[in-house]
């Protein structure tokens, strides 16, 4: 009987030790806590970080690639050429963080943010002309008061910028042209600021093709607008008309027409006196 009791006590002690050992093991529910990020997400974060770093070094344009197929990520950033390098860096920094948070589970994303654009994708888009996504914002005006400006002057300025951009690949900010001028015509005077830009990964021909799409959009939505901002993935156009001073008399007659009328009357009186 004593041997049986002794055997039971030993067995109970062994079970107790086993139970303590089992209790000291980590719970199975915690095994995923330190799981590494998905390969594509890791590569995407690398690309966005690279774009931030390059913009902080003063680059208005940057592209980056990370990872091997099928988890390769392609990324790009582009700042509008008339902002400072610091503003560009701040914009890209904010956009890369924003697109990372908003589109965390997406394989591709595109963001226009103030004065810069950031994007990434699982498919290479370098050197390609793309029509979407695009955006157009503008403010309308009574263009009937300025027929020559909206029918000729403004379209002419837009076409001039398009021609100049494709030949400016070696400028301080590649593929960027900006123009400011005071326009005086019979119907009035205006200050006109306009700029056009292409992404440097395009060649001159594709830059012209891309801006051709912008001009088409301009003619459809904004050709009679005081200001407009048209953005495509690889090119953009903005303009602003200010200090409008129409030549109008108190009777609603344009000064140019009034001068013409008075001149015509003076000539007729002179002829009658001669006769």
Domain ranges of the chain: 39-121, 135-243
39-121 and 135-243 have identical folds = yes
Band of pLDDT at residue 74, cut at 50, 70 and 90: very high
Q: Which of the pair, 104 or 215, is modelled with greater confidence?
A: 215
The answer to whether residues 48 and 94 touch, using CB atoms and an 8 Å cutoff, is no
CB atoms under 10 Å from CB of 220, counted, come to 9
DSSP assignment of 109-121 equals EEEEETTEEEEEE
CATH code for the structural domain at 39-121? 3.30.430.20
The answer to whether residues 74 and 47 touch, using CB atoms and an 8 Å cutoff, is yes
In terms of CATH, what superfamily is 135-243?
Answer: Gnk2 domain, C-X8-C-X2-C motif (3.30.430.20)
Radius of gyration of the chain, Cα coordinates, nearest whole angstrom:
34
The burial class, CB within 10 Å (0-12 / 13-18 / 19+), for 145 is middle
pTM score: 0.73
Query: Is cis: bond before 133, omega within 30 of 0?
Result: yes
105-119, 186-200, 236-250: segment of lowest average pLDDT:
236-250
């Amino acid at each position: 009987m004593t041997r049986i009791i002794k055997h039971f006590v030993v067995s109970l002690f062994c079970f107790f030790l086993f139970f303590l050992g089992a209790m000291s093991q980590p719970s199975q529910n915690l095994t995923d806590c330190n799981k590494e990020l998905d390969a594509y997400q890791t590569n995407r974060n690398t690309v966005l970080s690279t774009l931030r770093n390059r913009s902080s070094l003063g680059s208005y344009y940057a592209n980056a690639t990370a990872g091997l197929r099928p988890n390769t990520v392609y990324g790009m950033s582009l700042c509008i050429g008339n902002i400072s390098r610091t503003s560009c860096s701040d914009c890209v920094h904010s956009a890369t963080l924003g697109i990372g948070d908003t589109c965390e589970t997406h394989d591709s994303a595109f963001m226009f943010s103030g004065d810069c654009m950031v994007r990434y994708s699982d498919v290479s888009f370098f050197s390609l002309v793309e029509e979407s996504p695009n955006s157009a914002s503008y403010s309308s005006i009574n263009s009937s008061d300025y027929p020559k400006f909206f029918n000729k002057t403004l379209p002419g300025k837009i076409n001039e910028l398009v021609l100049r951009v494709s030949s400016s690949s070696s400028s301080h900010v590649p593929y960027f042209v900006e123009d400011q001028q005071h326009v005086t015509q019979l119907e009035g005077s205006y200050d006109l600021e306009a700029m056009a830009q292409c992404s440097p990964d395009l060649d001159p021909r594709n830059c012209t093709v891309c801006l051709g799409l912008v001009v088409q959009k301009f003619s459809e939505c904004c050709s009679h607008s005081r200001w407009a901002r048209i953005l495509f993935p690889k090119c953009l156009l903005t303009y602003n008309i200010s200090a409008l001073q129409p030549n109008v008399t108190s009777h609603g007659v344009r000064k140019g027409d009034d001068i013409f009328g008075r001149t015509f009357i003076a000539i007729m009186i002179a002829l009658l006196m001669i006769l």
